Structure 1
Amino acid sequence: MLYRLVRPMIRDGSSIPYFVQRIPADVRARAVGLKLSVPCGGETISKSIGPKTVTIRFSLRTREPSEAKLRQAQAAAYLESVWRALREDAPVPLTHKQAVALSETLYRAWKDGDGRERVTAMVHDPETSEWDRDYDGPSEAERVAEWEAAAQTIARLEGDEHAQEQALGPIVNRLLLAKRIRRVDHGTRMTILSEFRRALHDAFTARTRNAEGDYSPDPMAERFPEWRAPGVSASVSLATLYADWRREAEARDVTDSTFKSYGGVVKRFSAFVGHDDASRVTPDDVLRFKDHRLAEGIKPKTIKDSDLAALKAIFSWGVANRRLTSNPADGISLKVGRAAKTREKEFTPDEAKAILTHALRHECSKREATKTCAAKRWVPWLCAYTGARVGEVCQLRKQDVRREGDHWIITITPEAGTVKTKEAREVPLHEHLIELGFGDFVERSADGHLFITKRGRHGATYRNVSKKVGEFVRQVLADRGVAPSHGWRHLFKTRGIEAGIVGRVLDAICGHVPSTAGDAYGSVTLRAKIDAVEKLSRFAV
């Protein structure tokens, strides 16, 4: 089943996105009374479902868009597994080994505590310049007595199923649900309760030794096996995990560029750790990989938004689909500082003139493909007058260009290739492009893509063409502080503002998502776009 991915929501007056998901109607009644521990970054958020609860809502606790998307997906995957467990609602049998592994969480929580009991407060006397203990807190003897009493209380629960259920039942329910298990059979539950009681007794005994001044390693800490969820195989390859994640992601129209990026990350990560077993990957492996990529000189933003994002998404899918017991990349991130701004992201007038003149004067070489030559001639000009992404222009087809009366229109559509917003849009062409001969070029062209030459199964893509166009532009654009093609999108917006074009119309032409919920109402018509484009001045070359 595909789990629901909804966009993070922004509340009025807040810059921090919220996770909001309705509880499915078919499981709402069975969900009442549940206490959820929803993962959010490296933390968990407790949410209780009452009789009147309709949605699960909480802050994603980050302003970073990429991190917010990851946390959104993480929470959605967790909730989908809860809803699935409620729908199936069949008791799950666990082995004794799994029950012991499950109890480790309780043991660690109580044995390690938060460290406050191990701190001795000291007070400085300015008159004597001496330090002395602060005896306001419990003494060592009192702490020893407290932990001994706790251990004895837990010991008395042994063999009493009713007392164990009363004392430990709610904790068992929460930890089972955190492991995506709604219910277990009666025999399993009794085993889990017994192991939880034993884990607490061991933890309290260890705390008693600590209070007595003995901080040697607790031998009982080594008795817990690794948790493996029911149905999780002992080994799953990284390549298989990626392939299965991709198969499901294709149904959500994830872009080819994301698949290419994530696939590359998986291959690099597998080579780095020296194996292909996803179940053996640890958080330390991910941390070492992050440090390795930094040492290679990779930009922090690339590591955060590509490397870590890929690992988190794929491992999270593995957990949600019971291929893995945990996500080793969960909670691992990288702070990205703001880069120093040395110039605007758009081309200067001189740079724009140099690029367009270079394109206008380009002549095909004997060894250059006809469509590549055409791309160098027309792609910079089309980007300059449409504000479109270079990939959207490179994948234009003859059928995507039409004439309506005195106006020429291009349709940027996912049918031709990758479109970031996954939505088709119509963009009117400036009359200067037609005067330069673009309309004649289209009419002379064969059916199909204007700038891409297909070669068999693995034919050229817009990325091959856009790369060549970028290299061509770099022949006259020396400043590496501006992108050779994306600079046109920034310049188009600037020229549009200077011409007095409404921002919403500029967004519709460029393919930018509405900036507010209100802007999503109504449509920017083709007529409004034509009027806007007619306001743009010509480029002088």
Structure 2
Amino acid sequence: MPLAMARPWKHPKTGIYWLRKRVPDDLLRLVGKREEKRSLGTRDPNAAKRLHAAALAEVELRWSNLRSPPKALSEREAFDLAAPVADWWIAQHRENPSAQKTWKTEFGDRVFAPLAVLEAGDLGALNKHMPTAGSFDVLQMEQWCLQGASELCEARGLQLDETCHRLLARCIARVVQRASLQLKRLADGQPLETFFPFEVPHRAPSASSRRAIIFPKLVEGWIAERRPAPKTIYEWQRVIKQLASFLGHENASALTADDLLRWKSSLVEAGLRSKTVRDAKLAPVRAILQWGVQNQLLADNVAEKVTIDVRAKQGEKKRSFTDEEGRIILRAALLERDPVRRWVPWIGAYSGARVSEICQLRREDVVEIEGVWCLKVMPEAGSVKTSGSERIIPLHPALVWQSSASHELSELTSA
């Protein structure tokens, strides 16, 4: 029986689903614990799957950042990291905006404000920079922003030097100042939607002004940031080329929902199953366009609402092997001298592992753990389908016995 893959774990007493993920050995010192655990806050299994995927992606991104060397932030990247703080700040105080007293908007412009360089003997300038009204408040607000930057870095697994850490804190101060001014206007009775829009100096360009962004640029950026498996890179690049060929151009900025609907219809007419269209065609396009939106290259993701019904008729559904078919395959495998044809069916039958995972196993991936022989499915041996595919599978005694018997028979034959 294989060990559990990464999936929502249901608490036996509360019924609440949790994310549980073992921390890789190389990150134990940095993470400070052996297992990453967090509540998904739901008893609904379908919602838990969605929340688990998002939480797992956050954990994997944090671990990836921890493995990376200290990062140098640009001002744009710092603002992108700080921007969610403003949404959180407004959410915290939106019901009672006048109760927000922590952030003093009247001193907000002085937070992290650079001090002028004083000339020797310039007593007048010196007096201007002596502690004044609000200096203590400004100092507290700066410390709060620095602490927020530290917490943000810890949550994301970012390693920043002192300069970049202070840059991030300064960006937090700017977005919280703007958010606090919005709350102040809300307290004065103005509806939130009439406020000046919250913005940082990197808004997505409007449809009329944005420059042409070609598909290869989006794909290259997505690959560089997400670092997917080679097989995924090959398949998704192929899908994007197919879409560009259908459109007759590579301009992602000019792509419309109608274009994707026409492409979807052409794929269905070509005989592709609905599930293939959804998972192997539309999903890659949607993910890459979303990366473009998140990185301010595209104004919106036109593939977001393009869907397809994947309900299959009873006669079209895939079926598993019957017990008799399984026995025929395994008996035939016993007669094979080719080790691949002999062992892949048997290992698959007793482990549930994928064929690609079995075929890339190495000698060192067969290990004995506390007296039990196991298979290690690791990315070091080759690409795995998902981050949760990394696991250890105990070998069934029947496989161990058959391996031993086969080895003894081989020795007798050769003798």
Q: Deviations over 1:138-183 (max 9, x none)?
A: xxxxxxxxxxxxxxxxxxxxxxxxxxxx98983364xx45xxx347
Count of aligned pairs between the two proteins: 265
Per-residue deviation, 1:12: 1.9
The verdict on how the C-alpha distance between 1:13 and 1:411 changes in structure 2, with shifts beyond 3 A counting, is: closer
Q: Deviations over 1:237-283 (max 9, x none)?
A: 10121111011111xxx444433332221111011101111112111
Q: Deviations over 1:320-357 (max 9, x none)?
A: 10111221212111121144168884322221121112
Asked if the contact 2:207–2:299 (Cα under 8 Å) also holds between the matched residues in 1, the reply is: no
Asked if the contact 2:378–2:391 (Cα under 8 Å) also holds between the matched residues in 1, the reply is: yes
- TM norm structure 2: 0.52
Asked if the contact 1:407–1:429 (Cα under 8 Å) also holds between the matched residues in 2, the reply is: no
Query: Percent of pairs identical after alignment?
Result: 26
The verdict on how the C-alpha distance between 1:10 and 1:389 changes in structure 2, with shifts beyond 3 A counting, is: farther
Asked if the contact 1:362–1:376 (Cα under 8 Å) also holds between the matched residues in 2, the reply is: yes
Per-residue deviation, 1:388: 1.7
Aligned residue for 1:171?
A: 194
Query: Is residue 391 from structure 1 mapped to residue 356 from structure 2 by the alignment?
Result: yes
User: What is the root-mean-square deviation of aligned Cα atoms in Å?
Assistant: 4.6
Q: Deviations over 1:262-309 (max 9, x none)?
A: 222111101110111111211111111111111111111111122111
Query: Is residue 329 from structure 1 mapped to residue 303 from structure 2 by the alignment?
Result: yes
Q: Which runs of 5+ in 1 are unaligned?
A: 1-5, 37-46, 54-82, 91-165, 185-224, 364-372, 445-541
CA distance in 2, matches of 1:301, 1:260: 20
Aligned residue for 2:226?
A: 249
Letter in 2 for 1:322: Q
Aligned residue for 2:281?
A: 307
Asked if the contact 1:33–1:49 (Cα under 8 Å) also holds between the matched residues in 2, the reply is: no
Aligned residue for 1:263?
A: 237
Aligned residue for 1:298?
A: 272
Which shifted more, 421-430 or 317-326? 421-430
Q: Which structure is larger by alpha-carbon Rg, 1 or 2?
A: 1
Letter in 1 for 2:224: R
Per-residue deviation, 1:394: 1.0
CA distance in 1, matches of 2:170, 2:285: 25
The verdict on how the C-alpha distance between 1:7 and 1:303 changes in structure 2, with shifts beyond 3 A counting, is: farther
State the secondary structure of the residue aligned to 1:291.
helix
Return the structure number with greater helix share.
2
Q: Deviations over 1:20-65 (max 9, x none)?
A: 999x9977874466489xxxxxxxxxx9687799xxxxxxxxxxxx
Per-residue deviation, 1:399: 0.9
The verdict on how the C-alpha distance between 1:379 and 1:423 changes in structure 2, with shifts beyond 3 A counting, is: same
CA distance in 2, matches of 1:354, 1:409: 26
Aligned residue for 1:425?
A: 392
1:236 to 199, 204, 213: 213
Query: Is residue 226 from structure 1 mapped to residue 207 from structure 2 by the alignment?
Result: yes
Letter in 2 for 1:226: A
Letter in 1 for 2:352: G
Aligned residue for 1:376?
A: 341
CA distance in 1, matches of 2:402, 2:39: 45
State the secondary structure of the residue aligned to 1:335.
coil
CA distance in 2, matches of 1:325, 1:404: 52
Aligned residue for 2:320?
A: 346
State the secondary structure of the residue aligned to 1:408.
strand
Letter in 1 for 2:390: E
Letter in 2 for 1:271: S
Aligned residue for 1:95?
A: none
Query: Is residue 11 from structure 1 mapped to residue 34 from structure 2 by the alignment?
Result: no
Per-residue deviation, 1:10: 6.5
CA distance in 2, matches of 1:355, 1:168: 69
The verdict on how the C-alpha distance between 1:281 and 1:405 changes in structure 2, with shifts beyond 3 A counting, is: closer
Aligned residue for 2:257?
A: 283
CA distance in 2, matches of 1:85, 1:290: 46
CA distance in 2, matches of 1:406, 1:295: 55
The verdict on how the C-alpha distance between 1:307 and 1:183 changes in structure 2, with shifts beyond 3 A counting, is: same
